[in-house]
Structure formats: structure tokens, C-alpha cells
A = this chain, B = another copy of it.
Amino acid sequence: MRIVVANVNTTESVTEAIRQQAAKSAAPGTEVLAVTPRFGPASVEGNFESYLAAVAVMDRVQAVEETFDAVVLAGFGEHGKEGLAELFDVPVVDITEAAAHVACLLGRRFSVVTSLRRTIGQIEDRLALAGLRSRCASVRATDTPVLDLEDDLERTGERIVEEVAQAVEVDRAEVICLGCAGMAGLAERVQAEVGVPVVDGVTAAVGLAETLVRLDLSTSKVGSWARPLPKNITGWPFSGRGPANGG
């Protein structure tokens, strides 16, 4: 099967990191196709950027030429999942929800550790709409900008471990979700240091997408996420072509 994994920002190195993370955990026979939006912000750290990225991701996935079996939206706490779910007939899995669903299987309460404090509310909102807030003990931030995470991986790791320790001790978290695609490579280190399961959203989402495909289940087209009605849309798609064949 082929899974399209869509980065939400326009930074190619992040797309590549996400691709590696996804490929590492995919089952044999799963091909990961990582894509980068053709427009939008270099990193997504707020609502304006997140809305823009949502549209850029829809535009980019729509332009995929290969057939595909599932889509993973690889931006933690970002907008756009319901839009993708409407556009395609294959399953769409958001990494925020995927991480939270998997965390719920592993412990009674989970915490999210993300990068910037300003995005805490956005993550809380995504979890709330997904009905996954009640087992979330806290969302904590290291307050490191996304694109600086990789500059000093040592320091980034330390800050994450500090927040994770507080989440476990103070908030009684039993599982941790790393709330930023850029943190993916640190899951093992954090898990080893703190001794609680650490869930990375990208690998969780790929795993869930594989399960859905294998069970032959896809998005309900009755109700909220039905196909868009046929109508005149000015300027769409930005890339000048129609729905992808996966859709």
C-alpha cells in the first residue's frame, strides 16, 4: 500500500525527517510518499499559518499523481483534517489524533510536550474537537521555535525531558506524546530517560492508517465529511488540476 504523508510546512528538511520517521515504522510492503506543500510558511506556529497550511496541504495532496491508499496529515495541532477527509475516499489520519488515540491505549492519562507556548491552545482545541481531551493531563511547551529544535538537539532533548518529568510528577501523566513533528527523532531518548512510553505522532498515524487500509475501512461519506457538493470554486485548485486518482 502507498501512504501519502503530508508535511504542513514548506521546509524540505522537515519533510525528509518525517519521511524517514514514517518509513522506519511502516510495515513491509508499505510505501511512504512524503510531500511538501507548494506554498505556505516555513514552519507552522499559530492559527494564521495553520489555516494557510491546511489549504496548502489539500492543494498538494490533490496534486499527487500516484494512486494512494491513505493520507497522513503530519502537523501536530494543525487545522485541515476535516477538509482532507471530505476530499478523498481513502482514510485520512491526523498525527495529533493518532498520537492521542495510541496514548490512550497505553496509560490512563497522557501529556503532550510541544515547542511553542503559543500553540498550546491550538493543540488543546484539536484534542477537544476530536473528543480526546478528557484523558489529556496537560499540554506543555519547551518554548523552543520549531526550526531551532534541530540546532541544538542536546539542549532540545534536555528541555523535553524536563517538561516530561514535570508532566509525570505534577500532572500525573503516564504516557507522553511528542507534540511537534520536529521532535520525532527524540522519542527513544526521552522514553529511555524518563521511563514512560513516548508516542510519536507520525509513526502512530502511519500505523493506524495501515490498520484502516487492512480492515478495508474508510471515511464515512454520510454526514459531516461527505464529498464536497459540485459547485463553482474560483481559483481552485491552485495547482491547476483536478482531484488526484487516490481520491
Contacts and interface: CB of A to CB of B under 8 A. Distances in A.
Nearest to A145: B229
Most chain B beta-carbon contacts within 10 A, residue among A199, A224, A226: A224
A80 B51 contact: yes
A51 B199 contact: no
A47 interface: yes
A51 B55 contact: yes
Interface of A: 10, 25, 27, 38-43, 45-52, 54-55, 58, 79-80, 82-87, 91, 93, 97, 101-102, 104-109, 117-118, 120-122, 125, 128-135, 145, 168, 172, 174-175, 195-197, 199, 203-204, 207-208, 210-212, 214-215, 217-226, 228-229, 231-236
A217 B102 contact: yes
A61 B138 CA distance: 34
A63 to B, nearest CB: 14
A40 B233 contact: yes
How many monomers of this chain does the complex have? 6
Contacts of A43: 231
Nearest to A37: B234
A121 B52 contact: no
A234 to B, nearest CB: 5
A13 to B, nearest CB: 14
B174 A228 contact: no
17 contacts: A25-B214, A39-B236, A40-B233, A40-B236, A41-B233, A45-B228, A49-B233, A79-B79, A82-B108, A91-B106, A97-B104, A118-B224, A129-B129, A172-B223, A174-B222, A195-B222, A196-B220
A91 B107 CA distance: 10
Contacts of A131: 104, 131-135
Nearest to A57: B51
A199 B113 CA distance: 32
Contacts of A27: 27, 214
